[in-house]
């Protein structure tokens, strides 16, 4: 069963809200490529994992704050979607989820603008709905809400720095485990952690619960990104909707590569790779890493984060929404 069914969230009505963010923008002509492109991105679907995490976090607070929770979920999904538009340009990925990426269906310049627009419009939309009020006319943004928006703005800064670190260390085979973990935390885990925490805060959960949800989300996010890094070596193109080995081809040093660098037979072959390596040399190394013990070691490492999250679930034992956290964990660690 899908995660949204398991935790009882209606994604169709959430998607309607996503569409409303752009359809309500009076500055956007109906014939605009920006409008149709954002609609296409929304219609392409996706697991909507991050907004589901926002809703899940809110279940640890009070009921009756639905509009503020949905607004947070929409904002975070927009930041995520926009970051993928930019990520696919940076990674030169022509496919995502089996479909051509935005810069392929438009062009790189257009896609950069659309990604920027999505971030700006989502913030404008959220700020224009103080307290989650759909009319957004009467109330001012409360101090709490201003604090939450500032936290999310800081999150975008960290996302950008995580991606910058990755770019800066392309083909840097001296990357340390510590640097890899910090980059992974910034580019993926923090967003997931913030989704749970912001959902809890929007529903006025107590600060301790929101903080524990943040830590739970951080561990899940680390497990999620390491699994994503693994898929790049283990799954055929058809299964991941993009060419296998793309990370290493782009010079991104992920956990399987770090472990493979400890293998005396493999290390020299990896270290000789660079941006201008022949495709055959690259393919050969990717296949060797995929067949090496580095895969199992990375799986074990991802499992250790998921296990840490599993242990944390005990902290929520007295709460009815604990079973939703179990469902989320099950999604990450079937
Ligand atoms: C996917 O990583 C990308 C991210 C997790 C973050 C991308 C962030 C930016 C490009 C910074 C800019 C942010 C905003 C909000 C504009 P991946 O390439 O490892 O995963 P993939 O396999 O899904 O491509
Ligand atoms: Mg990518």
Q: Which ligand is nearest to the CA of 221?
A: 1
Ligand 1 atom 6, closest CA: 187
Distance (Å) from CA 180 to ligand 1 centroid? 15
Residue 111 CB–ligand 1 contact under 6 Å:
no
* List of residues 6+ apart from 21 with CB closer than 8 A: 74, 78, 121, 122, 125
Residue with tokens 């990604």: 115
pLDDT at 128: 78
What is the mean predicted confidence (pLDDT) over 77-91?
Answer: 96
Instruction: Please identify every residue whose CB atom is under 5 Å from ligand 2, which is an ion.
Output: 87, 91
Q: Which of 3-12, 92-101, 123-132, 164-173 bottoms out in mean pLDDT, i.e. has the lowest?
A: 123-132
Residue 87 CB–ligand 1 contact under 6 Å:
yes
What tokens appear for 309 in the block?
């999250």
Distance (Å) from CA 258 to ligand 2 centroid? 18
What is the mean predicted confidence (pLDDT) over 144-173?
Answer: 91
Q: Which ligand is nearest to the CA of 47?
A: 1
Distance (Å) from CA 226 to ligand 1 centroid? 14
Dist. CA 252–CA 173, nearest whole Å: 10
pLDDT band, residue 135 (cuts 50/70/90): very low
Distance (Å) from CA 227 to ligand 1 centroid? 15
Distance (Å) from CA 86 to ligand 1 centroid? 7
Portion of the chain with pLDDT greater than 70, in percent:
94
Domain boundaries, the chain: 3-332
pLDDT at 38: 98
Residue 119 CB–ligand 1 contact under 6 Å:
yes
> CATH classification of 3-332, choosing from 1.10.600.10, 1.10.3720.10, 3.40.50.720, 1.10.3470.10?
1.10.600.10
pLDDT at 186: 95
pLDDT at 136: 44
Residue 263 CB–ligand 1 contact under 6 Å:
no
Q: Tell me: pLDDT of 295 over 70.
A: yes
What tokens appear for 20 in the block?
């409303």
Q: How far is CA 80 from the centre of its chain?
A: 6
What is the mean predicted confidence (pLDDT) over 24-30?
Answer: 93
Q: Which of 6-10, 81-85, 131-135, 162-166 bottoms out in mean pLDDT, i.e. has the lowest?
A: 131-135
Residue 118 CB–ligand 1 contact under 6 Å:
no
What is the mean predicted confidence (pLDDT) over 212-231?
Answer: 96
Q: Tell me: pLDDT of 83 over 50.
A: yes
Distance (Å) from CA 309 to ligand 2 centroid? 25
150 or 210, which is more confident?
210
32 or 149, which is more confident?
32
pLDDT at 145: 81
Q: Tell me: pLDDT of 62 over 50.
A: yes
Distance (Å) from CA 225 to ligand 2 centroid? 11
60 or 242, which is more confident?
60
Q: Tell me: pLDDT of 214 over 90.
A: yes
Burial of 118-151, coded b for 16+ CB within 10 Å and e otherwise, reads bbebbbebbeebbbbeeebeeeebeeebeebbee
| Average pLDDT taken over every residue of the chain | 91
Q: Tell me: pLDDT of 187 over 70.
A: yes
- Which secondary structure element, helix H or strand E, spans residue 95, and what is its range? strand 95-96
pLDDT band, residue 138 (cuts 50/70/90): very low
Ligand 1 atom 14, closest CA: 83
What's the Cα-to-Cα distance from 109 to each of 26, 82, 101, 104, rounded to whole Å? Answer: 23, 14, 13, 11
Ligand 1 atom 7, closest CA: 83
Q: Tell me: pLDDT of 134 over 70.
A: no
Q: Tell me: pLDDT of 139 over 80.
A: no
pLDDT at 253: 97
Max CA separation in the chain (angstroms): 67
pLDDT at 241: 60
Q: Which ligand is nearest to the CA of 254?
A: 1
Quickly list H helices, 235-278: 237-240, 246-249, 255-260, 267-271
Dist. CA 184–CA 110, nearest whole Å: 28
């Amino acid at each position: 069963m899908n995660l949204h069914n398991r935790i009882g969230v209606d994604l169709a009505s959430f998607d309607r809200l996503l569409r409303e963010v752009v359809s309500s923008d009076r500055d956007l002509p109906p014939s605009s490529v920006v409008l149709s492109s954002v609609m296409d991105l929304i219609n392409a679907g996706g697991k909507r994992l991050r907004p589901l995490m926002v809703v899940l976090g809110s279940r640890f607070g009070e009921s009756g704050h639905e509009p503020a929770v949905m607004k947070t979920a929409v904002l975070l999904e927009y930041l995520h979607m926009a970051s993928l538009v930019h990520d696919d340009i940076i990674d030169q990925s022509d496919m995502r989820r089996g479909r051509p990426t935005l810069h392929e269906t438009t062009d790189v310049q257009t896609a950069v603008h659309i990604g920027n627009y999505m971030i700006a419009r989502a913030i404008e939309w959220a700020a224009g709905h103080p307290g989650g009020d759909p009319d957004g006319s009467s109330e001012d943004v409360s101090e709490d809400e201003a604090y939450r928006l500032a936290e999310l703005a800081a999150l975008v800064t960290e996302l950008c720095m995580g991606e910058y670190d990755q770019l800066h260390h392309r083909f840097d085979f001296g990357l340390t485990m510590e640097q890899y973990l910090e980059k992974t935390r910034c580019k993926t885990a923090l967003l997931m952690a913030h989704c749970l925490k912001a959902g809890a805060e929007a529903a006025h959960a107590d600060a301790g619960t929101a903080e524990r949800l943040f830590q739970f989300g951080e561990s899940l996010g680390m497990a999620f990104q390491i699994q994503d890094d693994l898929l790049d070596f283990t799954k055929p193109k058809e299964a991941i909707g993009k060419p296998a080995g793309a990370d290493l081809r782009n010079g991104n040093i992920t956990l399987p590569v770090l472990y493979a660098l400890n293998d005396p037979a493999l290390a020299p072959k990896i270290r000789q790779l660079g941006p201008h390596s022949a495709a055959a040399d690259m393919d050969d190394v990717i296949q060797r890493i995929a067949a090496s013990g580095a895969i199992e070691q990375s799986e074990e490492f991802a499992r250790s984060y998921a296990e840490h999250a599993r242990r944390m679930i005990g902290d929520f034992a007295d709460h009815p929404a604990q079973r939703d956290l179990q469902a989320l964990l099950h999604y990450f660690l079937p």
